[in-house]
Homo-oligomer: A and B are copies of this chain.
Amino acid sequence: MGNIAACCRSFWCKPKNPDIRISLPAICFVWQIAMIILFGLFVRYDDESDAHWSEHKHKNNITSDIENDFYYRYPSFQDVHVMIFVGFGFLMTFLKRYSFGGVGFNFLIAAFGLQWALLMQGWFHSLDPNDGLIKIGIENIINADFCVAGCLIAYGALLGKVSPVQLMVLTLFGITLFAVEEYIILNVLHVRDAGGSMVIHTFGAYYGLTISWILYRPKLDHSKNLSGSVYHSDVFAMIGTLFLWMYWPSFNSAIADHGDGQHRAAINTYLALAASVLTTFAISSLSAKKGKLDMVHIQNATLAGGVAMGTAAEFMISPYGSLIVGFVCGIISTFGYLFKFSSPSLSQAILSVQLNQLVNTFDFEGNYAKRTPATQGGFQAAGLCVALAFGIVGGAIVGFILRLPCCWGDPSDENC
């Protein structure tokens, strides 16, 4: 009996080996080659990015090249791209020992994740029934960036606790889970979630939190000392915060409906973000001696408005409705951070999403002709449950996989 315990311990507690000289290159090469093969088998241009666009135009009585979806969405796409790589990347520089890791590994997993997301989302959403191929265009690459955002939110909870190899693995599983979850929420339940508050942020937050909880190693906790921010790191982190904050209207409007849909989504998000800044500054100032502002609150909570508005961005919730969403979310997420519910980059996602459901349930005005607001509210709640379930169950499974003794190259400690 003692033997079995010892055996188990020796299995789970093998000395950690932080060397990733073989494992990281191997995983990068093999997965990239797999991507090339899968893209070769499955992925082609869609009607609007293919050289047959001129025929497509003629056949569909499209009078001008400016009607190509590229011109509706490309400016928003570039803004979302900046949010993923500069926004999330620099948000993670505020931990002084992880400036490089924050930006660099963010770069690596996003670059891998978006390729895998194009495939996974393609199989679920963009499969051409005639030839079984995925047809990609501007909307697909925006969606791939969205998908990556979910994994980067999870990464925020794990910063400094996992090796690059583990990050690649959790990105692979994260994207896969995300694509399935998204398909169920959007296509089976027909839930409306333009900026992906529940699909992206709820899933990403709980996925990261669960993995973080399973990978918890007490000896690594002294690394909390390293979580302290330093002056210059904070200014770098503000670059991330500001680019996320400024471009959130593009995030929420990027794949909204053409015309008034995109227009309204951008305005609603702009207003919610502005309101969340004021309440965040207020709560942050209240909580500190002499009212001195804590930049970490500001860095994290000001984004609450944008996250919260995600689901409802396209709805006719009126400008004052947007302000209310931002106002309430700024308060809740700053409190969430103050009372240490969770790591900084997560609290706002979790809390504001829940609130958001309430707002949604009451506020949209007949966007779904076939469903009463109450029915739709029920489906929205069901969607939230699906996102939670995928985040927690998926995170638990991936967490255990990452604890398997293997060549993960995770940070070493004396005993586990």
| A residues neighboring B (CB under 8 Å) | 18-26, 28-29, 31-33, 35-37, 39-40, 43-45, 48-54, 57, 63-72, 74-76, 78-79, 81-82, 85-86, 89, 93, 99-100, 103-104, 107-108, 111-112, 114-115, 118, 136-138, 141, 164, 231-232, 234-236, 238-239, 242-243, 245-247, 249-250, 258-260, 262-264, 266-267, 270-271, 273-275, 277-279, 281-283, 285-286, 288-291, 293, 295, 298, 302, 316, 318-320, 323-324, 327, 365, 409
Residue of B nearest to A96 (CB): B231
In the complex, which residues of chain B have a beta carbon less than 8 angstroms from the beta carbon of A319? Answer: 39, 43-45, 118, 136
Give bound CA distance, A277 to B24, whole Å: 13
Contact A85 B242 (CB under 8 A): yes
If the complex has contacts A89-B242, A115-B275, are A282 and B78 also in contact, measured as CB distance less than 8 A?
no
The answer on a CB contact under 8 Å between A111 and B274 is yes
Output the nearest chain B residue to A264 by Cβ-Cβ distance. Answer: B49
Partner of A285 from the list B24, B271, B274, B282 (CB cut-off 8 Å) is: B24
Apart from A19-B290, A112-B274, 20 more pairs, CB < 8 Å: A19-B291, A24-B281, A24-B291, A36-B275, A36-B324, A39-B323, A48-B260, A49-B260, A49-B267, A51-B264, A52-B260, A53-B260, A64-B67, A78-B79, A78-B246, A82-B246, A86-B242, A111-B274, A111-B278, A235-B236
Is B231 in contact with A99, judged by CB distance below 8 angstroms?
yes
Assess the A99–B235 pair: CB atoms within 8 A. yes
Instruction: Report whether over half of chain A's contact residues are helix, strand or loop; otherwise say mixed.
Output: helix
Chain B residues with Cβ under 8 A from A250's Cβ?
Answer: 78
Instruction: State A33–B259 Cα separation when bound (angstroms).
Output: 31
A333 smallest CB distance to B (angstroms): 15
Set of chain B residues within 8 Å of A53, measured between Cβ atoms: 259-260, 263
Contacts of A264 in B (CB 8 A): 45, 49-51
CA distance A26 to B286 in the complex (A): 9
Cα distance A79–B250 in the bound complex, in angstroms: 12
Pair A70/B262 contact, Cβ less than 8 Å: yes
Complex Cα distance, B365 from A50, in Å, reads 12
> Which B residues lie within 8 Å of A114 (CB)?
270, 274
Q: Name the B residues within 8 Å of A141 (CB-CB).
A: 267, 270
Which residues on B sit within 8 Å (CB–CB) of A29? 278-279, 282
Whole-angstrom CA separation of A407 from B403 in the bound complex: 55
| B74, A71: Cβ atoms closer than 8 Å | no
Contact across chains for A66 and B65 when beta carbons are under 8 A apart? no
Partner of A260, one of B40, B51, B277: B51
Contact A115 B274 (CB under 8 A): yes
Instruction: Please give, as numbers and ranges, the residues of chain B lying within 8 Å of A293 by CB-CB distance.
Output: 100, 104, 164
Interface centre among A93, A250, A275, A409 (most CB of B within 10 A): A275
A289's contact among B21, B57, B138, B249, by CB below 8 Å, is which? B21
Contact B290 A20 (CB under 8 A): yes
List of B residues within 8 angstroms of A51 by Cβ: 260, 264, 316, 365
5 pairs from A and B in contact (CB 8 Å cutoff): A25-B281, A28-B279, A49-B263, A51-B260, A291-B409
Closest CB-CB distance, A155 to chain B, in whole Å?
15
CB < 8 Å neighbour of A267 from B40, B45, B267, B273 = B45
Residues on the B chain within 8 Å of A274, using CB: 111-112, 114-115
Take A18-B290, A21-B290, A39-B320 as given contacts and tell me if A271 and B302 are in contact as well, using a CB distance cutoff of 8 Å: no
Residues of B within 8 A of A266 (CB): 70, 74, 138
A320/B289 in contact, CB under 8 A: no
Residue in A20, A263, A409 whose Cβ sees the most chain B Cβ within 10 Å: A263
How many angstroms from the CA of A209 to the CA of B21 in the assembled complex? 33
